[in-house]
Amino acid sequence: EVFLAADDASGELFAVKSASAACAAALRREQRVMAGLSSPRVVSCIGGRGAPDGSYQLFLEFAPGGSLADQMATGLDELAVRGYAADVAAGLAYLHGAGMVHGDVKARNVVIGADGRAKLADFGCSRKAGADVPIIGGTPAFMAPEVARGEEQSPAADVWALGCMVVEMATGRTPWSGMDGDALAALHRIGYT
């Protein structure tokens, strides 16, 4: 769950991503991943805190433009598609240069900052590039064929997902949209056809 909050002292707005005790470890991991990142094309992590009940809150930079998926709902022209794609590509170049893979690039995981530019968000599936531990998660319609087959997820898989996102921005439909209800069939089609 993500909600908006304000700093009592400064009045500055920020986003709060909250998880129950059962999911708190995932948010702590996401905070560790984000702590070392600093780029204008990546959402900033302000910090986090645990509660006595075991729940956890992650504090993130507020993006007043909402998600890229929200922007797509009103339709995007070619100039906007190019601009957002370039912003996400720059964010991925930074992330890959830092030895990381995002693992779940899609419009819902890209936010629009106060400057109108796109920023990568939601690092729940991120990891070090070349790590032997497979990522559990991601979105089937945006998975590269090698990821759908259960092979290594490299920076190239993020670039594939960016391409899928560009298709979605330009057409209003996700690639493989005919497979929406059947994730297993989508994974098979993407990975083996």
Cβ-proximal residues to 30 (8 Å cutoff; 6+ apart), any chain? 17, 58, 122, 123, 124, 126
Statement: residue 5 has pLDDT above 70: yes
pLDDT in tens, 60-111: 999 999 999 999 998 899 999 999 999 999 999 999 999 999 999 999 999 9
pLDDT in tens, 102-116: 999 999 999 999 999
Measure the CA–CA gap between 169 and 99, rounded to whole angstroms.
Answer: 27
Task: Please report the beta strands in the chain, taking only residues with DSSP state E, as ranges in sequence order.
Answer: 2-6, 13-19, 45-50, 56-61, 100-101, 110-112, 118-120, 127-128
Which one is catalytic: 87, 104, 122, 158?
104
* 104 given a catalytic annotation: yes
